[in-house]
Structure 1
Amino acid sequence: MQTVVRKGPLWIVLWLLAACKTHGQANQKPNIFFIAVDDMGNNDIGYNNPEVETPNLNNLGNNGVILESNYVYPVCSPSRSAFMTGRYAHKTGFQHGTVEHNQPAYIDSSYKTVAEKLTQSYGYAAHMVGKWHLGYCKDSVTPTYRGFDSFYGFYGGQENYYTYKVARYNDFRDNLTAVTPKNPNYPREDVDGYSTFEYVKRAVEIVKNHDKAQPLFLYLAFQAPHSPLQAPQELIDKYPGSWTYTDTDGSQKTTDRGTFYAMVTAVDMAVGTLHQELENQGLLDNAIIVFTSDNGGQPKEGGFNNPYRGAKGTFYEGGVRVPGFVYSKSLLTKTSYRHRGLLHASDWLPTFVSLAGGSADLTSDNDLTSIDGVDQTQMLLNGGDSARSKIVLNIDDFERSSTIYGVIKQYGPEVWKYVQGNIGRRGIVYSVTKTSKKRALKRSFKSERPKRAVNDKYLYLISADSSETYNLYGDTTPEIQDIQNDLEDEVEAEKPKAVPPMNPYNCGTPNNLLNGFWSAGPGEGWCNCIA
């Protein structure tokens, strides 16, 4: 049918079409793709280290925004709880460590998950593929009961990449809310193939079958490159068999970094496959892709955190400052740069809510009034300043031997870090940064050489000393003393806000094994077991 618009000059037609397209996009909720990897250190991605082949990740990161100050927790479960709830781990009981297979810990129902918010308040379809690691002692705490329309993956912290088993038992399932009940224990024994590639196959299926009239949230949580070190042989052959590194005690050790990097390359291939399918289905035109690791790399397994000190399991930068980026074809007004603004795992929930159309003033949302995350859309989309100037690293005094308090805070252009307690083993200090950082510190303060540690207290100017070579706690410079006192006050103010760790003791395997599968249970399941 001929229209009046077609009779006008061509430039008017094009202008009207462009205006309609822009207006339509502005009123659509974006598709959100959150991709998490496991145990990837700062130098385990190609745009930071050309030794590892990650062309797809490099392309997305270099054409998006690379996050230089992307903070998480030093191990898996606390980071995942922060992302899922928008709250610090010490507010939800996940501050003490990872959730083991026979540990009755979970996200309490009083905390809305990011999937629940997006599906219930903003009309999203939500699917999860990969690693959960947030507890499964009863059906109602598993992904399809916490907002996800489907879950394809495993509940625990790791498993064999080919057999999908851990400790001889199976932990792989295919849960669909379309089935009644929501089959949280529906096992899959017919899965065949390397798990990284199996996960992306399911992700591609979800994308192909998705109704484009509805916004999509896909959480793709790869196990890789977490141990066990396993990868297709053709990828392992791309790399040397081992590397030598300096361990925390100063000794020289070798690690199978070749297999580790092969696992990273497999993730890169999987992300490339998903990216291409999103392009094919037209889902990238109004979408954002977020990529992050859940904690730092483990050198003994092949991880490489240079120039950051420490490793997974420590509160040095190498344990908590990880690779990450955001990419979008249409939503970013500034691209192809690195942003140094502070960002925390808890920020993703309010940021996604804001992208979905939620109020930037999250205090108006009853579900979000007590969250710790902040809306980072201005930082991510427009290159603005970070919406936060402080990150609480952790508040955990459950066990005296592992007590840890920590905070990072920005003062103008300087970023300082204070930790009290068990920061972790001494940590690798990469020699490539020692000289320059020492000069930077002397230029800043001209202070006397500081003591190594004072009563397990540590103070680092991480904006100049990202290798955390020089502990400035106890320095007599008035400016440093003022900062030290302020950070100690921040920690003291945060301590009363911590809740006890969520069921930190293990129950024993008989409670959660059913016909050879790690299993939840109806009702209260085995959540009330006695350790």
Structure 2
Amino acid sequence: MAPHFPLDVPKGFEDSVELADDDRRKFAGMMAALDDGVGNITRALKDNNMWEDTLFVFLSDNGGDAAFAGSNYPFRGNKATLWEGGVKVPAFIHGSMLKQSGYVNKELYHFTDVFATLLKVAGGEPDDDIDGKNQWDSLCRGEHSERSEMLLHLDTHPVTNGAALRSGDYKYIEGITNLVVQKLNQNDELHFDQWYRPAESPDAEIPDAPLISENVNNRFLFNLKDDPLETTNLFNDPDKQDIINEMKQRLDEYRASLPQFWFPPGFDERGNPDNFGEAWTPGWC
């Protein structure tokens, strides 16, 4: 999970967690407060006889940031990277309408699927031209996901040029792996592509893999089923070239349909990259 900076524990939770590392203790205290809030919502629904008609969805929006005591261990990478530590997030759903429960679902879902799925559960019908897919049958009954492919990233800017595609068990990455332009010059020092031990587990095992230098020539292929920690780059494996070529072709198809997103007409001046170290923002952060 990834509470936003500054780390500030709500009153009453200061001593809820005992950890030696001060930032990690604050982080855990914030999570304890979040857990308490979820408990309050759950009790309110039960007290008002609404729990049995509620589908409860809990998820994070991105991986944790090690700079602010977050940890994605044992997965590789930091928040705002293309590694699984930045892409893969914890989530669970609960509800009496689930036909299968109490299991770990390992199917492929995208954040945009949440809207389409909840709309269907509520009795609506998602439009055919939206990005999300209705995944209710998969979540409710444990059937296969409605998607086998996921575009993770596509950036054509010369400074941050990069792309990533998930197809079945494989993930292909090319170019820059860090999605925050201000952090590109920090990568050689902080290595956002590596594995970060939680502060409370300083002896935790981490894979031995070469450090990444951020440049447009980076190329990676991982079999996430066999190698979920992304330790073995298969890009130069002669037996995987057909897979790589297919994924490159799919990225070219996405590029062909890519709308203009660098300096689009009518942009909000509050988000001008000149004000944010050459990083495009929507103007609100």
Give the TM-score normalised by the residue count of structure 2: 0.79
2:167 paired residue among 404, 409, 433 = 409
Tell me the residue number matched to 2:256: 496
Quote the offset at 1:497 in angstroms.
Answer: 2.4
Quote the offset at 1:504 in angstroms.
Answer: 7.4
1:41-440 equivalent positions in 2, closer than 5 A: 225-232=3-10, 234-237=12-15, 238-242=17-21, 256-328=23-95, 330-359=96-125, 362=126, 368-397=127-156, 399-410=157-168, 415-424=169-178, 425=187, 426=191, 427-429=193-195, 432=205, 434=207
Q: Any idea what SS the aligned residue of 1:350 has?
A: helix
Q: Does the C-alpha gap of structure 1 residues 279 and 409 become closer, same or farther in structure 2, counting only changes over 3 Å?
A: same
Per-residue CA deviations over 1:451-503 (Å, capped at 9, x if unaligned) read 999921111111122221222112222xx111111111111111122223363
The 8 Å contact of residues 457 and 473 in structure 1, kept in 2 or not, is answered as: yes
Separation in structure 1 between the aligned mates of residue 42 and residue 260 of structure 2, nearest angstrom: 41
Quote the offset at 1:286 in angstroms.
Answer: 1.3
More contact order relative to length (CA 8 Å, sep ≥ 6): 1
Separation in structure 1 between the aligned mates of residue 20 and residue 13 of structure 2, nearest angstrom: 12
Q: Does the C-alpha gap of structure 1 residues 489 and 292 become closer, same or farther in structure 2, counting only changes over 3 Å?
A: same
The 8 Å contact of residues 307 and 466 in structure 1, kept in 2 or not, is answered as: no
The 8 Å contact of residues 76 and 84 in structure 2, kept in 1 or not, is answered as: yes
Per-residue CA deviations over 1:91-116 (Å, capped at 9, x if unaligned) read xxxxxxxxxxxxxxxxxxxxxxxxxx
Give the alignment's Cα RMSD to 1 decimal.
2.7
The 8 Å contact of residues 57 and 92 in structure 2, kept in 1 or not, is answered as: yes
Tell me the residue number matched to 1:84: none
Instruction: Please tell me the residue identity of whatever aligns with 2:18.
Output: Y
Separation in structure 2 between the aligned mates of residue 288 and residue 321 of structure 1, nearest angstrom: 22
Separation in structure 1 between the aligned mates of residue 268 and residue 148 of structure 2, nearest angstrom: 31
Indicate whether 1:457 and 2:247 are aligned.
Answer: no
The 8 Å contact of residues 161 and 216 in structure 2, kept in 1 or not, is answered as: no
Instruction: Please tell me the residue identity of whatever aligns with 1:351.
Output: T
Quote the offset at 1:383 in angstroms.
Answer: 1.1
Per-residue CA deviations over 1:382-422 (Å, capped at 9, x if unaligned) read 1111111111102221x312122111011xxxx11011111
Which structure 1 residue ranges, 4+ long, deviate > 3 Å from structure 2? 430-435, 451-454, 502-508
Separation in structure 2 between the aligned mates of residue 311 and residue 229 of structure 1, nearest angstrom: 18
Quote the offset at 1:507 in angstroms.
Answer: 5.7
Q: Indicate the structure with greater strand content.
A: 1
- Bigger CA radius of gyration: 1
Quote the offset at 1:241 in angstroms.
Answer: 4.1
Q: Any idea what SS the aligned residue of 1:231 has?
A: coil
The 8 Å contact of residues 454 and 473 in structure 1, kept in 2 or not, is answered as: no
Separation in structure 2 between the aligned mates of residue 463 and residue 235 of structure 1, nearest angstrom: 39
Quote the offset at 1:335 in angstroms.
Answer: 0.8
Q: Does the C-alpha gap of structure 1 residues 279 and 432 become closer, same or farther in structure 2, counting only changes over 3 Å?
A: same
Q: Does the C-alpha gap of structure 1 residues 488 and 396 become closer, same or farther in structure 2, counting only changes over 3 Å?
A: same
The 8 Å contact of residues 235 and 244 in structure 2, kept in 1 or not, is answered as: yes
Tell me the residue number matched to 1:136: none
The 8 Å contact of residues 153 and 162 in structure 2, kept in 1 or not, is answered as: yes
Instruction: Please tell me the residue identity of whatever aligns with 1:308.
Output: F
Separation in structure 1 between the aligned mates of residue 79 and residue 229 of structure 2, nearest angstrom: 15
Per-residue CA deviations over 1:160-208 (Å, capped at 9, x if unaligned) read xxxxxxxxxxxxxxxxxxxxxxxxxxxxxxxxxxxxxxxxxxxxxxxxx
Separation in structure 2 between the aligned mates of residue 383 and residue 490 of structure 1, nearest angstrom: 28
